[in-house]
Every structure is written in structure tokens, then in C-alpha cells.
Amino acid sequence: MFDKVLIANRGEIALRIHRACKEMGIQTVAVHSTADADAMHVRLADEAVCIGPPPPKDSYLNMAAILSAANVTGADAVHPGVGFLAENADFAEMVEEHGHVFIGPTPDHIRVMGDKIAAKEKAIEIGIPVVPGSDGGIETDAEAIAVGRDIGFPLIIKAAAGGGGRGMKVANSLEELPEALALCRAEAKAAFGDDAVYMERYLGHPRHIEVQVLADGMGGCIHLGERDCSLQRRHQKVVEEAPSPALNDIERDRIGSVVTSALSKMKYRSAGTIEFLYEDGEFFFIEMNTRLQVEHPISEMICGIDLVREQIRVATGMPVRIQQEDIVFSGHSIECRVTAEDPETFAPSPGRITDYHAPGGLGVRVDSHLYSGYSIPPFYDSLVSKLVVHGANRNECLMRLRRALEEYVIGGIKTTIPLHEQIISEQAFINGDYDIHWLEKWMGLK
Ligand code: MV4
């Protein structure tokens, strides 16, 4: 086992990884920008290294500074967390070249899944169902028109280098196609420096359902069920739940075994997530995330598995020690992403926390780096807390979530707690009857 792990991240996720390390008897090294000198992850870590000024490109994305912190502290391994360098294949490669273990997949797997065209080809190769569409990239208008006639309208054009919802254009007819293609290409070039695009049938009312996996790089692979992440605004997830209210046990087992046998074939290593659009009873692969995800705790809650702990274990070269048959999916879990934003306008609301009281009690988990007196810096992601609740069933989970939101006090800044209270009181949400467009439509109405 590792003696010392460097955590190349900040905020609640740095804390989450620190906690897993301490429970495994592993020493932790925090890295931080000058804006984060007083952050909780820095306070709790065994050692801390300042890696640069506030802008992410000068600190949390500064590979040379992070590698030198790993070298001077003698860290055995580097955990990238989520965001920042977590899906940067070059960083993973450099970590290993410098003699540390990268707690994540191989650089090759990160690279393949980072290119959406290559990822889709890989998905087809290993037997995962994909959205019908172009066979690889689209080069010319003539090719686009031929594919358009074939798959029909509406269709969606996506950037190969895209992700997180950027670089997509919908075309409703053959007439709209050339302009949509040109716009998508231009946007992709400007945003990612790569104008490669591909086409897919446009699904009008899907849910976003993703399957959590853990694999050991030697063919061992298990799944921790699915998460329904359909409640999002501008491609930012707001509320997630596990299991999905839309699936039954048979569908869950079926998609779970499709995914685990595929990733086992690929010899995938580490935690990973396969994202699907789910519409009219069918799953369509859209992307794979080769990292831990923000919403991983809801899977942990229903499976009783510490995913970060297991991710660290497989990074040392050990096989996955949990058998699929031994995973018992128990009850229901919901996560509310609490951000430091105005709940009406979503304007950022950084500043000093004057009062802090987190909810507690059975089935309530708060993953947050906040404390009374802490000042939220304005330079980073607005996520300040994940309120994660577990109940014996969905109704118990909802009742518990409601009382936990009522108990939660975060004084001095605006947060999205009131928005969460409203969402979970809506009949459509209570019924589990929502798709990827529901939240934005509802916000437009209220
Ligand atoms: C789609 C789609 C409909 N049809 N692909 C958006 C982010 C990127 N990961 C994939 N996205 C979509 N791909 C086809 N063929 C609709 C979306 C989409 C979406 C997907 C998941 C969660 C929220 C979304 C919001 C708008 C559009």
C-alpha cells in the first residue's frame, strides 16, 4: 500500500480523498494556490505545498509545480480528484514518468475516451450500444447530407473534442444541415482547437443515466449500479439520485453486465462512469468519464462501498476484491449540489461564511469543506457542499432530504439550498417523472 498520496485538487473533493487516505493509514499531501492557504483540505493534510497564484492555470493546472511537490514530499502516488487534471492523459503520463503512481486509468484509456469519436468507436468495439449516427467523423457537406438522409431529422452534430455540453448543434432538416455543420465546426475550433465533428440521431426527451464501474486493469470489473443525473441546468448537474426511478431490476442488471463485460474486455483500470441517454426503454452510450465523479457518493450509499478506497487499492496493482454477486443494492440515495450562487439568478456569491451548521442524523452525509469563518475564494467552481441522503426507499429518502435541507445553515453568502427545497417539493420530481429538459423548463415557468 502507498505510504503517502498527493491530492492534486481542492475543495470538497480534496477532503473526500483525504478522508479515504487517512482511513487506510496513508499520509496526505495537499497542494494549494495562494487563495486556498486557509482551506480545509490544507488544514487537515499531513503536509501542504503552495503551488502558485489563484488562477487555475498557474496552480491546480500547473503540472510542473504539482510534480515538483510530489517529488519534494516523496509521495508514492497522485490522486487527481475531479476536474482540473483528472482527465489529462499527458499529466497521467508525466506522473508515471516521474516515478509516482497515477490513481486513475492508463494514459491511453484517458486519451481514447477524451476523443468522442474514438470513444464511440471503442464503445461499439467492446459491445456497448451507441446512438445511431455517422461512422466516425464527418468531413464534407456531401457526407453530412448522405448521413442526414440515412439517420433522419432532427439530428445533432457534436464536436469530437467536446464534452460538458459544449460544441453541439441540432439540425431539424436537410436545409438546416450545412449551416449547423459550419457553426459546430467553427465553435469546436474556437473552443477546443479541433474542428472534428460527428453526427447522431437527436433524442428529444431522454434521461441521463450513468453506470458506475470499478476495474483493476486485469479484467476484473464490477458495477455499482446507475445514477440518474437528468436534473441539470446548462449542463451543470443539480440533483442526482440512485437508483434511477425509471429503471427496474432487470434493466439494471442488463445494462450493468453489458458495461462490466465491455470494460473487462478493454482491461480498464480504476473508477469510471459510462454515460447513457435513456429513452423509451433503450440505452445509448454518449461518453465515458475516466475519473471519479462528483456524484459518486450516492452510489457509495446504496452499495455500502467506499469507492475512493477501492480506487486507491486497485491503483497499487491489487485486483478488485468485491464480487458483483456480493453487492447488495440497498434503499435510495439523493445528492443535492449546494453552490455559492443566488438561487434565482445563479450569480456567483463568494464571501465569508458567518454561520455554519450542517445537518446530521441517520442517513445524512455532508461532503463539504466549509467551516464558520471560511472565505470562499472567487476563482473556482461554486460547489460548496454535497448534501447526500440515504433512505430505505425513495419516499423515506425524500422526507429525510427535506428535513436535512431545513436544518442546513450556511450564513453570510447566498446558496442554492432554497432552490433544492423547491425542486424536491414539485410533483414531477416526487413522482420521478422528469427528463434532461425538465429542470430548465420548470425554472422558466416558476
Ligand atoms: C445528445 C442529446 C440528444 N441526442 N445526443 C449534452 C452533453 C453531452 N454529454 C451530450 N448531450 C446531449 N447529447 C443525442 N444524440 C442531448 C444532449 C443533452 C443533454 C444530455 C445529458 C444531460 C443534459 C443534456 C442537456 C441538453 C442536451
**Chain mean position to CA 353:** 26
The answer, yes or no, to whether residue 378 has pLDDT greater than 90, is: yes
Task: Report yes or no on 123 lying in a domain.
Answer: no
Ligand 1 atom closest to Cα of residue 133:
15
Reference 398, options 389, 408, 406; nearest CA is: 389
Reference 85, options 75, 95, 76; nearest CA is: 95
Overall number of domains in the chain? 3
- 196 and 214 share a domain? no
Q: Are 75 and 98 within 8 A, CB to CB?
A: no
How far is residue 281 from each of residues 228, 250, 264, 386, 400, measured CA to CA in Å? 14, 12, 25, 30, 30
Query: What is the β-pairing status of strands 375-376 and 351-352?
Result: antiparallel
Task: Report yes or no on 226 lying in a domain.
Answer: yes
**Boundaries of domain holding 192:** 132-201
The answer to whether the pTM exceeds 0.95 is yes
CA distance 15 to 30: 10
How far is the first Cα of the chain from the last one, in angstroms, to the nearest whole number?
53
pLDDT reported for residue 166:
83
Per residue in 116-172, pLDDT (tens digit) is: 999 999 999 999 999 999 999 999 999 999 999 999 999 999 999 987 788 899 999
List, in order, residues 6 or more apart from 250 with CB less than 8 Å away. none
**Secondary structure letter of residue 320 according to DSSP:** P
**Secondary structure letter of residue 87 according to DSSP:** T
pLDDT bin (cut points 50, 70, 90) of residue 223 is very high
- The residue whose CA has the least distance to atom 7 of ligand 1 is 165
pLDDT reported for residue 154:
98
- The residue whose CA has the least distance to atom 10 of ligand 1 is 165
Is 402 marked active-site?
no
Task: Kindly provide the residue ranges of all beta strands, DSSP E only, lying in 34-125, ordered along the sequence.
Answer: 47-52, 77-79, 101-102
Give the lowest-confidence range in 22-26, 124-128, 184-188, 323-327.
184-188
Q: Are 48 and 30 within 8 A, CB to CB?
A: yes
Residue 329 DSSP SS3: coil
Reference 311, options 265, 364, 268, 341; nearest CA is: 268
The domain boundary residue, chosen from 168, 185, 201: 201
Secondary structure element (H or E) that encloses residue 211, with its range: strand 207-216
The domain boundary residue, chosen from 201, 218, 242: 201
pLDDT reported for residue 164:
73
198: CA distance to ligand 1 center in Å?
14
Ligand 1 atom closest to Cα of residue 201:
15
pLDDT reported for residue 86:
98
- 293 and 215 share a domain? yes
How is the beta sheet containing 236-242 ordered, strand by strand?
A: 282-289, 269-279, 207-216, 221-233, 236-242, 332-339, 383-391, 364-368
164: CA distance to ligand 1 center in Å?
9
- 220 and 356 share a domain? yes
Residue 279 DSSP SS3: strand
Ligand 1 atom closest to Cα of residue 275:
9
List 291, 313, 365, 400, catalytic entry: 291
> Cis (ω within 30 of 0) for the bond into 53?
no
392: CA distance to ligand 1 center in Å?
31
Percent of the chain with pLDDT strictly greater than 70: 100
- 243 and 314 share a domain? yes
Task: Report yes or no on 66 lying in a domain.
Answer: yes
pLDDT reported for residue 370:
98
- The residue whose CA has the least distance to atom 15 of ligand 1 is 202
The answer, yes or no, to whether residue 389 has pLDDT greater than 90, is: yes
CA distance 26 to 46: 10
**Secondary structure letter of residue 203 according to DSSP:** P
Give the lowest-confidence range in 83-92, 185-194, 406-415.
185-194
Per residue in 329-375, pLDDT (tens digit) is: 999 999 999 999 999 999 999 999 999 999 999 999 999 999 999 99
The three cell numbers locating residue 404:
436535512
pLDDT reported for residue 383:
98
What is the amino acid identity at position 71? N
Whether the CB of 286 sits within 6 Å of ligand 1: yes
Task: Report yes or no on 122 lying in a domain.
Answer: no
Ligand 1 atom closest to Cα of residue 202:
4
Whether the CB of 436 sits within 6 Å of ligand 1: yes
CATH assignment of the domain containing 149: 3.30.1490.20
The three cell numbers locating residue 251:
434493466
- 328 and 376 share a domain? yes
pLDDT reported for residue 163:
78
What's the rounded mean pLDDT across residues 192-217? 96
- The residue whose CA has the least distance to atom 8 of ligand 1 is 165
* Mean pLDDT value across the chain: 97
Whether the CB of 165 sits within 6 Å of ligand 1: yes
Task: Report yes or no on 355 lying in a domain.
Answer: yes
